């Protein structure tokens, strides 16, 4: 039922120090446990701490950790979230915002992320994918040439070797919260660059559908998967995301059902 695993390396790491002396240290016992659990399955990386879009600089400590991680456990590809979560503080300090935030659809943002994506691709020698984020802001600064979130993805992928992790639940969140048609949005995506797809569940909070990874995949997200799979010639896998603390509540049977549903749709379109 599981063809490959996706690892978020930060979950088996600890941060040491602060500011410019920060290091992210891989915990050997957790690394060993993760490797034992995954066995011989192919593994891909899905990072959360890079902050690839931070104008003041990305997270060097994360990349140093990933260098060591790759030596210990090579990965097939590497993905990150398109966004930023750090800003500059006094005297060059880096401040965490505490939540991931979206990039504005501007030329400057596209250019910054494209050049950094190329640098990452060169550094690791495996495909680098960016994930379209869920966000709750309806009015971000925009350049007319870029227009919106999807225009930003086009601009980044055209301007770099970067490819895409299409998170269907993130797209669904944005469609629900910003009131647009997710199927039309899919049609506007750079689908020829999609290598991986995420599906997940969410929940309502304060009038917004939140990308909470706390339950089963909404029916419309399955419909989106069914819709998009014939249109993504390079896609190599689908991942069901669920936060650890919610896995217990959902239970193994429900998780297995979600995986079976993903396989069912995958096999309809990709079995050949």
Residue ranges in contact with other proteins by CB under 8 A: 10, 13-16, 18, 24-25, 27-29, 48-49, 53-56, 84, 86-88, 95-99, 101, 104, 106, 108-109, 112, 135-139, 141, 177, 205-208, 210
Nearer residue to other proteins within complex by CB, 2 or 180: 180
Q: Which is nearer to other proteins, 25 or 118 (CB)?
A: 25
Least distance to other proteins, CB of residue 172, Å = 16
Shortest Cβ 95–other proteins spacing (Å): 7
Output 12 or 194, the one with its CB closest to other proteins: 12
In whole angstroms, what is the distance from residue 94 CA to residue 90 CA? 8
State the nearest-atom distance from the C-beta of 8 to other proteins, in Å. 10
Of 156 and 232, nearer to other proteins (C-beta) is 156
Closest CB to other proteins among residues 88, 267: 88
- Closest approach of Cβ 147 to other proteins, in Å? 17
Distance of CA 158 to the CA centre of its chain: 19
- Residue 103: CB minimum distance to other proteins, A: 8
């Amino acid at each position: 039922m599981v063809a490959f695993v996706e690892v978020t390396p930060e979950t088996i790491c600890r941060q040491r120090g602060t500011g410019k002396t920060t290091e992210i240290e891989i915990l050997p016992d957790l690394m060993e446990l993760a490797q034992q659990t995954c066995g011989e399955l192919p593994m891909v990386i899905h990072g959360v701490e890079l902050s690839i879009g931070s104008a003041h600089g990305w997270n060097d400590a994360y990349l140093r950790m990933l260098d060591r991680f790759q030596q210990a456990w090579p990965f097939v590809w590497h993905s990150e979230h398109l966004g930023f979560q750090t800003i500059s503080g006094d005297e060059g300090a880096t401040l965490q915002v505490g939540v991931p935030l979206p990039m504005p659809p501007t030329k400057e943002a596209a250019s910054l992320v494209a050049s950094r994506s190329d640098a990452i691709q060169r550094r690791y020698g495996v495909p680098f994918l960016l994930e379209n984020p869920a966000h709750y802001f309806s009015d971000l600064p925009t350049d007319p040439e870029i227009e919106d979130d999807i225009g930003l993805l086009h601009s980044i992928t055209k301007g770099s070797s970067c490819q895409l992790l299409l998170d269907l639940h993130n797209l669904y969140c944005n469609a629900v919260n910003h009131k647009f048609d997710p199927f039309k949005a899919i049609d506007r995506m750079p689908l020829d660059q999609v290598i991986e797809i995420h599906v997940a569940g969410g929940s309502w909070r304060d009038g917004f559908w939140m990308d909470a990874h706390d339950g089963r995949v909404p029916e419309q997200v399955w419909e989106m998967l069914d819709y998009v799979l014939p249109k993504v010639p390079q896609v190599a896998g689908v991942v069901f995301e669920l936060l650890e603390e919610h896995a217990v509540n959902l239970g193994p049977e429900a998780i297995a059902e979600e995986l079976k549903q993903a396989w069912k749709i995958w096999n309809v379109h990709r079995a050949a």
